[in-house]
């Protein structure tokens, strides 16, 4: 007869439980990435390696200091992380240099391009060149009227004229008498369309002024001089949240009530709306633009899906004001609104 030592189950049970728990944790870790180690994208986030790896170039026109870009890039980074994309972001405010960035993307044989068409005449030919080379293009942020001419699959953003008209109508509801529309980049069609819309929607006295690029000190003094020159101005709308924050102390020091509003957002602006210093922001939802630009291209590369049915995919306008600021402010602090 074989003799076996007696085992105390109470002594063995804790060890068995530890082994089972460790095995479960390993399985959970594997299931989240298809059993493979998670890789890293260009922005430092983890990616879904269950999907094919593709390279997408995102090419903008913004100055690197623009807070709007930070929000948009966070959305694009999330889109890349979700879809196992190697995202290569570049930007230049000079139209010819932005076109060169597109050509560089073509030369390096990226799989797709997300292109901001802020200066369409400088970019349409090179965008078509990308498409002819078999590289799909999606227009985002700017290009509502030009994306089809550029050969893009779709446009993701807002109709600037519609957004401007809605902003002008809000001024009319607030009962202001004369609106100053501040354009921070001369020669960008989308910005002039915003002001055109404001003028149309407001229907009253308006004026327009152009600033000298991204020099905030110059912007402040130029706005200050304009308000001193024309005491009839009782409302100012900027086309970028950073300029609204630059204009705010000037309007407060003007010696008369001046209503301030803006297009686009950043965290300090959210605080200004909450405090009642800024009446409203026209939000085109840049996080969503960045995310959708990458996500739609990834879907097209993976299964030839196309959203929009030949029509623009609108991310705005959405309005942020006292009525909804408490709901949105927490997301703004995270940089996703």
List the domain boundaries for the chain. Answer: 54-158+286-306, 160-283
Buried b (16+ CB within 10 A) or exposed e, 102-124: beebbeeebbbbbbbbbbbebbb
Rounded distance between C-alpha atoms, residue 54 and residue 111, angstroms = 6
Measure the CA dihedral 95/101/105/108, to 10°.
Answer: 150
Rounded distance between C-alpha atoms, residue 123 and residue 152, angstroms = 12
Rounded distance between C-alpha atoms, residue 191 and residue 184, angstroms = 8
Rounded distance between C-alpha atoms, residue 45 and residue 77, angstroms = 8
Cβ pair 75, 87 in contact under 8 A: no
Beta strand segments in 111-268, E: 112-115, 137-140, 155-157, 178-183, 205-210, 235-238, 259-263
Residue 202, pLDDT score: 98
Sheet holding 280-283: strands in order across?
Answer: 205-210, 178-183, 235-238, 259-263, 280-283, 318-320
pLDDT (tens, 9 = 90+) of the chain, 337 residues, equals: 433 334 444 443 344 333 333 433 333 343 333 333 333 334 445 556 689 999 999 999 988 777 789 999 999 999 999 999 999 999 999 999 999 999 999 999 999 999 999 999 999 999 999 999 999 999 999 999 999 999 999 999 999 999 999 999 999 999 999 999 999 988 889 999 999 999 999 999 999 999 987 789 999 999 999 999 999 999 999 999 999 999 999 999 999 999 999 999 988 999 999 999 999 999 999 999 999 999 999 999 999 999 999 999 999 999 999 999 999 988 877 878 8
Residue 38, pLDDT score: 34
CATH T-level topology, domain 160-283: Rossmann fold (3.40.50)
Task: Centre a 10 Å sphere on the Cβ of residue 305 and count the other Cβ atoms it contains.
Answer: 11
Q: Report, at the CATH architecture level, how domain 54-158+286-306 is classified.
A: 3-Layer(aba) Sandwich (3.40)
Cβ pair 91, 60 in contact under 8 A: yes
Distance in angstroms between the alpha carbons of the first and the last residue of the chain: 76
User: How would you class 238 by CB atoms within 10 Å of its CB: exposed for 0-12, middle for 13-18, buried for 19 or more?
Assistant: buried
Rounded distance between C-alpha atoms, residue 217 and residue 215, angstroms = 6
Residue 44, pLDDT score: 45
Place of tokens 């085992």: 7
Helices (H), 84-158: 95-107, 120-132
Rounded distance between C-alpha atoms, residue 328 and residue 108, angstroms = 40
Place of tokens 């530890």: 18
* pTM for this prediction: 0.80
Residue 58 DSSP one-character state: E
- Say if 54-158+286-306 and 160-283 have the same CATH topology: yes
Angle at 158 between CA 152 and CA 162, to 5 degrees: 125
């Amino acid at each position: 007869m074989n003799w076996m030592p007696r085992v105390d189950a109470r002594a063995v049970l804790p060890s068995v439980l530890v082994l089972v728990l460790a095995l479960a944790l390993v399985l959970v870790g594997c299931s989240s990435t298809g059993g493979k180690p998670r890789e890293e994208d260009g922005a430092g986030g983890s990616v879904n390696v269950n999907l094919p790896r593709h390279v997408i170039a995102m090419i903008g026109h913004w100055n690197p200091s623009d807070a709007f870009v930070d929000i948009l890039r966070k959305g694009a980074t999330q889109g890349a992380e979700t879809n196992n994309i190697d995202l290569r972001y570049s930007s230049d405010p000079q139209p010819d240099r932005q076109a060169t960035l597109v050509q560089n993307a073509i030369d390096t044989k990226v799989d797709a391009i997300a292109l901001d068409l802020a200066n369409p005449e400088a970019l349409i030919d090179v965008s078509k060149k990308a498409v002819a080379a078999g590289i799909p293009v999606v227009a985002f942020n700017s290009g509502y009227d030009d994306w089809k001419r550029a050969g893009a699959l779709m446009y993701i953003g807002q109709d600037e004229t519609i957004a401007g008209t809605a902003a002008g109508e809000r001024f009319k509801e607030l009962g202001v008498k004369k609106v100053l529309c501040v354009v921070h980049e001369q020669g960008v069609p989308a910005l002039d369309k915003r002001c055109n819309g404001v003028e149309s929607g407001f229907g009253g006295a308006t004026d327009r002024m152009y600033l000298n690029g991204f020099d905030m000190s110059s912007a402040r003094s130029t706005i200050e001089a304009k308000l001193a020159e024309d005491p009839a101005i009782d409302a100012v709308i900027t086309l970028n949240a950073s300029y609204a924050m630059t204009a705010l102390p000037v309007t407060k020091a003007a010696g008369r009530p001046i209503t301030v509003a803006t297009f686009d957002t950043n965290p300090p602006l959210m605080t200004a709306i909450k405090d009642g210093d800024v009446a409203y922001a026209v939000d085109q939802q840049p996080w969503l633009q960045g995310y959708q630009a990458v996500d739609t291209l990834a879907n097209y590369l993976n299964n030839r899906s196309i959203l929009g049915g030949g029509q623009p995919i609108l991310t705005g306008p959405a309005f942020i004001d006292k009525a909804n600021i408490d709901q949105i402010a927490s997301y703004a602090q995270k940089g996703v609104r």
